[in-house]
């Protein structure tokens, strides 16, 4: 078995890696926070968040704060586990 087999393709892109890094250490983050922290465009963030949502690694909650729409992202238990396994695989790769 190759040393990169345990890396998760869902986290191959730096934006997805960034989204998960933020969500694993915080309870949640909204669209504006993620966009500012990652310094990405609306479209980039939305498409990568959608990819993680499709894998059931994050959930999306839409609500209104006053009259303004708010989109909040939360890492699922499955997403947290998959991300931690990915990080462990990276650490193992770097250790070799």
Sole residue written with tokens 């609500």: 63
Q: What percent of the chain has pLDDT over 70?
A: 97
49-74 average pLDDT score: 96
- Under the banding of pLDDT at 50, 70 and 90, the label for residue 6 is confident
pTM, 2 dp = 0.91
Residue closest to 7 by CA, chosen among 95, 84, 96: 84
**11-91: CATH architecture:** Orthogonal Bundle (1.10)
Domain range list for the chain: 11-91
pLDDT value, residue 35: 97
More confident residue, 7 or 49: 49
Distances (CA, A) of 50 to 56, 78, 89: 10, 16, 24
pLDDT value, residue 41: 97
Q: Write the pLDDT tens digit of every residue in 11-47.
A: 989 999 999 999 999 999 999 999 999 999 999 999 9
């Amino acid at each position: 078995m190759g040393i990169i087999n345990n890396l998760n393709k869902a986290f191959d892109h730096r934006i997805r890696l960034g989204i998960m890094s933020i969500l694993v250490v915080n309870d949640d983050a909204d669209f504006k926070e993620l966009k500012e922290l990652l310094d990405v465009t609306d479209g980039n963030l939305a498409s990568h968040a959608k990819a993680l949502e499709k894998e059931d690694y994050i959930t999306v909650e839409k609500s209104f704060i006053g009259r303004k729409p708010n989109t909040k992202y939360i890492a699922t238990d499955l997403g947290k586990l998959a991300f931690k396994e990915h990080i462990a695989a990276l650490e193992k790769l770097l250790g070799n």
